[in-house]
Amino acid sequence: MFETLQTMPADAILGLIAEHRNDPRPEKIDLGVGVFRDAQGQTPILNSVKTAETRLLESQASKAYLGTAGAPEFNAAMQALTFADAVSGDRLVTIQTPGGSGSLRVAAGILLRARESVSVWVSEPTWANHVPLLGGAGLDLKPYPYYDTGNHVINVEAMIDALRAAPQGDVVLLHACCHNPSGIDPTEDEWRAIIDVIVERELLPFIDMAYQGFARGVDEDAFAIRELARRVPELIVCNSCSKNFGLYRDRVGSVSFLAADPATRDTVDSQVNNYVRTIYSMPPDHGAAVVGMILGDAELRAEWVGEVDAMRERLESMRVLLNDALIERNPARDFSHLVRANGMFCFLGVTPDEVRQLKQDYGVYMVDSSRINVAGITEQNVGYLADAIAAVVG
């Protein structure tokens, strides 16, 4: 059987991590891997998470099965965190999933249960794993223009034109905030114009929110979702708690479906739970129990919001630091998009050759597209990093 299989190419990011690990140069910098890092270069466990874990250890009395939808407290809390009061709860189904990736996979499965063939418009570019994950699940992916690489802005007009030409009923994948890989998000006015065309063309919004709290704030980052929920009959939201709760390896996420009316909501609910049973049966519990406890406890919740704010502020200040250091070294070259971007990622805006040179000559690691994770920058390494970039871009 297995002799028919062909070896797959190694994952580009995992390869980069290994190369960085094996690089003996002490000044090396990793801007590739997609996790938050603090000023000491660590990916810490949040204090709110530690407290909730301690309480759980003492209070949890059973590890018996929870069921296909996971924990009801977690689901209710995630629904509120996502939608607030934008829409009536009797039109919403929210279930716990294994991470944001699991939620995207469940959403894909439900779309394909609803319709035999589904076209999903995705931003050009989009998160590298959207394509194999959603395309591999059987969705037909089509690109819409998004990032203008030369000017480091969103080409909103081209995006809107493409959506206007999309057949009625097609699905459009949107990044709620912190667009991965570009970091450049629509303004509120741009969102309204995008939503107008979604309403006009009767497209189904499919929103990926992997970085709630990392752009402007926990509530502010749900702006597009809440605006859409007020204006469309149906939508899907995929949440990840990997980044904003730092629960990467615990695999915590949720998927929400907004249905046109409560009766359809009940049907979707039955389909989603039935579908989950046919794939992973039930989601992992621990991380979601932690999130449910944090969001359900006023004090822990306030501490968590403060911790998310601190992560966001660190990312913002590292962007400013790098831009300032580059202005000092090369005032003729505009890197101001670094500061306009949100979240962990943005494009540095250098060529693949320059990316290679940064790695070979300076031990600065990033993916070929020059997407960088600004969480890899510290006050200690920013001078060296800016020297390296300035030397390479000439």
The catalytically annotated residue of 208, 221, 250, 285 is: 208
According to CB under 6 A, which one of 253, 284, 292, 349 is a site residue for ligand PLP?
253
- Minimum distance of ligand PLP from residue 299's CB (angstroms): 26
231 contact partners, CB below 8 Å, separation of at least 6: 195, 199
Does the annotation mark 191 as catalytic? no
Q: Is 369 exposed, middle or buried (0-12, 13-18, 19+ CB in 10 A)?
A: middle
- Minimum distance of ligand PLP from residue 45's CB (angstroms): 16
How many Å apart are CA 232 and CA 184, to the nearest integer? 24
Does the annotation mark 304 as catalytic? no
According to CB under 6 A, which one of 172, 177, 210, 358 is a site residue for ligand PLP?
210
Q: Closer to ligand PLP at the Cβ: 20 or 251? A: 251
x/- mask, ligand PLP, residues 274-313, rule CB under 6 A, reads ----------------------------------------
How many Å apart are CA 210 and CA 129, to the nearest integer? 13
Per-position DSSP letters for 277-298, written without gaps between them: HHTTSS---HHHHHHHHHHTSH
HSE, side-chain direction, 13 A CA sphere, residue 231? 21
Q: Which residues, 214 to 243, sit near ligand PLP by CB under 6 A?
A: 240, 242
Asked if 244 interacts with ligand PLP (CB under 6 A), we say no
Q: Which residues, 330 to 359, sit near ligand PLP by CB under 6 A?
A: none
How many Å apart are CA 362 and CA 45, to the nearest integer? 30
Does the annotation mark 243 as catalytic? yes
How many Å apart are CA 183 and CA 181, to the nearest integer? 6
Asked if 180 interacts with ligand PLP (CB under 6 A), we say yes
How many Å apart are CA 92 and CA 114, to the nearest integer? 17
Contact (CB, 8 A) for 100 and 208? yes
HSE, side-chain direction, 13 A CA sphere, residue 4? 1
Q: Is 286 exposed, middle or buried (0-12, 13-18, 19+ CB in 10 A)?
A: middle
Asked if 101 interacts with ligand PLP (CB under 6 A), we say yes
Q: Closer to ligand PLP at the Cβ: 125 or 363? A: 125
Which of these segments, 38-46, 95-103, 258-266, 366-374, binds ligand PLP (CB under 6 A)? 95-103
- Minimum distance of ligand PLP from residue 96's CB (angstroms): 12
Residues with catalytic function:
127, 208, 243
* Site residues, ligand PLP (CB under 6 A): 34, 99-101, 127, 175, 180, 208, 210, 240, 242, 253
